[in-house]
Chains A and B, each alone.
Chain A
Amino acid sequence: MGILSSSIARKVAMALSALFLVFFLLMHVSVNLVSVFSEEAFNTASHFMGTNPLIQFVMQPILIFGVVFHFVLGFILELKNKKAVGVSYAKNNGAANSTWMSRNMIYSGLAILAFIVLHFIDFWFPEINHKYIEVLPEDPTRYYHELREKFVNPIRVGAYVIAFVFLILHLLHGFQSAFQSMGMNNKYSKGLKTFGKAYAIIIPLLFIFIALFHHFTH
């Protein structure tokens, strides 16, 4: 795998892509949060994000690459690790020495992946369709209503909430793990861990809040 031929290089690559995604979450939630306060501002922001060429043709591919990279590498690592383990224990008491989150990143990751597929079907494919396939006329005020409509269905909202709970679990381990992977473990680590935990809980909760807000105010 070239540059990713060593275990530590893969680890660092996982960490870098993770931190990129963590940062993306912050941007995403910021834009979404606007929808709670102002329809107009949300439409403006969404329109900007959806039409700005820098975002559309540079940032978006990078983001997609980041997501795909993180997942693919995650799967590769999981398979390699399974191979490294060989025979598994008849009795293993993982809870004695590690958190559930840290041991089950692949499962929380898969849940998130499933959500992303849903998310693409819900938002991204229609967007792409709207803009590049059917090339419908651009309406800078359509975004807010489209958003509101999506959150009418309680099943979708439920799935959305569950996915973000998994994101919490994923981030609770992932955030601080990324820093450790990149070699950061020093006197600041304790503070960083606390920050990481807060981040891991607050950001997904905000997403959940937004979803519930739109669902119940419909």
Chain B
Amino acid sequence: MNLTLKIWRQKGPQEKGKLVDYKVNDISEHMSFLEMMDVLNEQLINTEEEPVAFDHDCREGICGMCSMYINGEAHGPDKGITTCQLHMRSFKDGDTIYIEPFRAAAFPVIKDLVVDRTSFDRIQQSGGFISVNTSGNTQDANALPISKHAADEAMDAATCIGCGACVATCKNSSAMLFVGAKVSQYALLPQGKVEAADRVMNMVHQMDIEGFGNCTNTGACEIECPKGISLENIARMNREYLKASLKG
């Protein structure tokens, strides 16, 4: 199929960017979206133009590196997948495809479609862990039974890949699904309860410092999340936060 691409080009963080049109031809429907981008880049290299910079790594939907806002949706039109899992069969011959970087003040553009998501790391550093040292003397793993239900729910929250689609999709650029998932994972497990109050206070504080917006419960994040992280996690975080605040 032949396609017109409208791609955001931006030389560097301080430069102005704009959408630039490109044509790609003979794209196979079996290609992944990123393979189509590879084809475009190969074409650009051959015509002495600078290839489009975009983040990608595992190309199997788990590392969370790929981003891209495709035709107005994070990770493109299909649900439950990342951009690297999107295939060209989701498009038609002659389509015009808008490709923009994930937008949020807390995700500044580095170059073209590459954005800086280290704000997510800093939120995790503010409390997204359990304070246990590696010693080899930790208690036996089975010393603390955890109900299957809690473990499964924690696992569901923990599947977040930190891609930032929730923020990119949110009309408020809120990071609450991301933070809620991490807070939930630990809040659901007995190991995490010890530090639960400090954790939620610190992580929410850091989230606010980073300049993410306020959640207005549109639910868009849950729909666009490639891993289907549930809004319940935001509610749980709100609860945990209220509990922690009231405790003082």
The answer to whether any beta carbons of A and B sit under 8 Å apart in the complex is yes
Contact residues of A with B, CB < 8 Å?
5-12, 77, 80-81, 83-94, 96-99, 102-103, 105, 173, 176-177, 180-186
B-side interface mostly: mixed
Q: How far is the CB of B94 from chain A (nearest CB, A)?
A: 17
Q: How far is the CB of B74 from chain A (nearest CB, A)?
A: 9
A176 to B236, CA, bound (A): 15
For chain B, the count of residues having a C-beta within 8 Å of the partner chain is 48
Q: B238 contacts which of A11, A77, A80, A102 (Cβ < 8 Å)?
A: A11
Q: List, in ascending order, chain A residues with CB within 8 A of B238's CB.
A: 8, 11-12, 180-183
Known: A7-B207, A180-B217. A91 touches B100 (CB 8 A): yes
B71 interface residue (CB < 8 Å to A): yes
Contact residues of B with A, CB < 8 Å?
6, 8, 19, 69, 71-73, 77, 98, 100, 103-106, 169, 171-174, 176, 204-205, 207-208, 211-220, 223-224, 231-232, 234-242, 245
Q: A81 contacts which of B98, B172, B207 (Cβ < 8 Å)?
A: B172
Known: A83-B211, A84-B173. A183 touches B103 (CB 8 A): no
Closest B residue by C-beta to A85: B173
Are B213 and A98 in contact, CB atoms less than 8 angstroms apart? no
Are B235 and A103 in contact, CB atoms less than 8 angstroms apart? no
Q: How far is the CB of B231 from chain A (nearest CB, A)?
A: 6
Q: A93-B77, A183-B239, A184-B235 are in contact. List 4 more A-B contacts (CB 8 A).
A: A81-B213, A85-B104, A182-B238, A183-B242
Closest B residue by C-beta to A184: B235
